[in-house]
């Protein structure tokens, strides 16, 4: 678990080192809502939201910081800490 204020820098540094089809999952304390970020190719990421809004879309890696600010406000509005875990290719 990490503090919500450290989530964006931590995610950006971990995403930079991801291999293709590997990902990161950010989940609430109860793990009932989560966001999965998976690398599709060298510059494209796929974001899957499962929570208040269920959606899946792709974006460029350079737009990730701005998108993360929006996602954290929408999906985790009252959270102080979040779970951060790695996601393998099969999941």
Q: What's residue 13's pLDDT?
A: 95
Per residue in 17-62, pLDDT (tens digit) is 999 999 999 999 999 999 999 999 999 999 999 988 899 999 999 9
**DSSP symbols for the chain:** -EEGGGHHHHHHHHHHTPPTT-EEEEE-TTSSSEEEEEE-SSSEEEEEEESSS-EEEEEEGGGHHHHHHHHHHHH-TT-SEEEEEEE-S--
54: containing domain? 2-87
Q: How many domains does the chain have?
A: 1
pTM of the prediction? Answer: 0.91
């Amino acid at each position: 678990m990490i503090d919500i204020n450290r989530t964006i820098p931590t995610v950006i540094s971990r995403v930079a080192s991801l291999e293709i089809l590997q990902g990161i999952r950010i989940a609430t304390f109860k793990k009932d809502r989560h966001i999965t970020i998976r690398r599709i190719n060298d510059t494209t990421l796929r974001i899957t939201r499962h929570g208040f809004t269920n959606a899946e879309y792709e974006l460029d890696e350079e737009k990730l910081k701005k998108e993360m600010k929006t996602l954290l406000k929408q999906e985790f509005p009252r959270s102080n800490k979040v779970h951060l875990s790695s996601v393998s290719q099969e999941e």
